Amino acid sequence: MDYLKDVTLNEKDSLQDMLNLEKNLAKVYSTLMTEGVSNGFRKTVKEHWNEVVDDQAEVYFMMTDKGYAEVQSAPATTLSEEKNKFAKVRSQLS
């Protein structure tokens, strides 16, 4: 494994790695919350999940501040179409 000693991550790669880790942790905690039975367990998992999603947002905002991630606004027509789809599904469930 001598080849690994020459591998270094730059700041962007490190932040992307952290972001991916936080996203994966959030998925795991979400699964645990829906599978947990005891209220104490669910409370603990929910607290950890809240911390993870806050950390994920912090890393993402850091990436956007540094120009490593770009936020793109959706066109108004796309937003309107999605709202209409949601309203249709919602009305069918009522």
pLDDT digits (tens, 9 = 90+) for 68-91: 998 888 888 988 888 888 888 888
Q: Within a domain: residue 3?
A: no
Residue 4 lies in a domain: no
Question: Mind listing the pLDDT tens digit for each residue in 11-52?
Answer: 999 999 999 999 999 999 999 999 988 999 999 999 999 999
On whether residue 72 sits in a domain, the answer given is yes
Structural domain boundaries enclosing 70? 9-93
Q: Is the pLDDT of residue 1 over 60?
A: no
Split into its structural domains, the chain has a count of 1
**Domain contains 79:** yes
Sequence-distant (6+) residues with CB within 8 A of 63 are 12, 15, 16, 19, 69
User: Within a domain: residue 53?
Assistant: yes
Residue 2 lies inside a defined structural domain of this protein: no
pLDDT band (50, 70, 90) for residue 65: very high
Q: Is the pLDDT of residue 93 over 90?
A: no
Q: Kindly state whether residue 1 falls inside one of the protein's structural domains.
A: no
- Cβ-proximal residues to 20 (8 Å cutoff; 6+ apart), any chain: none
